[in-house]
Amino acid sequence: MFDKLDGITAAILAGGQGTRLRTVVSDRQKVVAMVAGRPFLYRLLDQLADAGVRKVVLCTGFQAVNVAATLGRAYRNMQFFYSEESEPLGTAGALRQALPLCDSNPILGLNGDSYCEIDFSAMLAAHRNPATLAVREVADTTRSGRVEFDANDFVTSFVEKSTTPGRGWLSAGIYLLGREVLESIPAGRPVSIERETFPSLVGRGLRAFCTAGRFLDIGTPSAYTKAQRFFK
């Protein structure tokens, strides 16, 4: 087990179509959309660099060339590697394809279109196989995965795009995954980490890591507008 993040590979999902955001961001991949004067993904990369991460794999697909042209091969003390989909593979499928580029166990996975203030070192220290999922309490969980867990932080329910309104815990788009989890994902076809992988791990050791840090995503025009103010 690593005790710091300089030995951890971070894999960022950066291949989504961004269809809901196209009315305000039509010329580039949403993860590199300009937010308060900088491409959004640099906000995540600064977090990772500050935590000591040295290797980042970008899981790209839609407008992959745009992402690579924006980020290049290195930033601060980090080296970038690219795993490009030839066709959409879903969130879990994209991570499965990127596995040969990932050296560590566990692997730190992140959604490229969301940001959460979190202590990565504390999350790593709390991690136990097979997987640990960062969760954040919010007033309404209907826009993301609603997570329920017991007093020992074992996840008892994971529902993507829950229809249950009201306060609860959502997936913050950050997760530590044992290599065996990614190896178990079928290769070469679309698989959703939210609808297939995480629900399959409920009752099999999936744990929640709670954070009180600020959270946002840029998936909709209104959320994108809020992000401009957030980073100012």
Round to whole Å and give the CA distance between 68 and 136: 30
Q: How confident is the model at residue 1 (pLDDT cuts 50, 70, 90)?
A: very low
Assign residue 48 the CATH number of its domain.
3.90.550.10
Round to whole Å and give the CA distance between 39 and 139: 28
pLDDT at 4: 76
pLDDT at 174: 97
**If you average pLDDT over residues 174-181, what whole number do you get?**
97
- Residue 198 scores a pLDDT above 60: yes
pLDDT at 169: 94
H/E segment holding residue 226: helix 221-231
- pLDDT, greater one: 19 or 67: 67
Short-list 96, 121, 115, 85, CA closest to 8: 121
Q: Which residues of 94-124 are buried (b: 16+ CB within 10 A; e: fewer)?
A: bbbbbbebbebbbbbbbbbbbbbebebeebb
pLDDT in tens, 147-162: 999 999 999 999 887 6
**If you average pLDDT over residues 2-9, what whole number do you get?**
82
- Residue 171 scores a pLDDT above 90: yes
Q: How confident is the model at residue 114 (pLDDT cuts 50, 70, 90)?
A: very high
- pLDDT, greater one: 104 or 4: 104
Provide the residue type at 63 as one letter: Q
At 151, give phi and psi (nearest 5°). Answer: -65, -20
Q: How confident is the model at residue 205 (pLDDT cuts 50, 70, 90)?
A: very high
Count other C-beta atoms under 10 Å from residue 30's C-beta: 26
pLDDT at 3: 52
Provide the residue type at 161 as one letter: K
pLDDT in tens, 69-108: 999 999 999 999 999 999 999 999 999 999 999 999 999 9
**If you average pLDDT over residues 196-209, what whole number do you get?**
97
pLDDT in tens, 25-69: 778 899 999 999 999 999 999 999 999 999 999 999 999 999 999
- CA torsion sign, 208 to 213 to 219 to 222? positive
The reported pTM is: 0.94
CB 217 within 8 A of CB 113: yes
Range of the domain at 53: 5-231
- Residue 133 scores a pLDDT above 60: yes
Q: Is 165 helix (H, G, I), strand (E, B) or coil?
A: coil
Tally of domains within the chain = 1
